[in-house]
Amino acid sequence: MSLYSNPTLARLDEHFRRLSQQHGCTVLDADSFDDFINAPGEALILFADDPQRVPETWDIAVILPELIKGLTHKPRVGLLPPTAAHAVSARYGIRLWPALLATRGGAYLGVVEGLKDWSVYAAQIPQVLAAPESRPPSIGIPVQTVGANASCH
pLDDT band at 53 (very low <50, low <70, confident <90, very high): very high
The pLDDT confidence band at residue 144, using thresholds 50, 70 and 90, is: low
pLDDT at 1 over 50: no
pLDDT at 6: 86
The mean pLDDT value for 46-65 works out to 95
Q: By the 8 A CB rule, do 15 and 23 touch?
A: no
Of 12 and 147, the structure prediction assigns the larger pLDDT to 12
Average pLDDT over the chain, rounded to whole?
90
Contacts of residue 42, defined as CB under 8 A and 6 or more positions apart, other chains included, come to 73, 75, 76, 102, 103, 104, 109, 129
Average pLDDT over residues 99-127: 96
Predicted pLDDT of residue 89: 95
Check pLDDT > 80 for residue 40. Answer: yes
Under the banding of pLDDT at 50, 70 and 90, the label for residue 146 is: low
The 10s digit of each residue's pLDDT in 72-83 is 999 999 999 999
- Please name each of the domains of the chain with its CATH number: 7-130 (3.40.30.10)
* Residue 17 CB-density burial (10 A; 0-12 exposed, 13-18 middle, 19+ buried): middle
Q: What is the pLDDT of residue 87?
A: 94
> For the residues 65-71, what does the mean pLDDT come to?
94
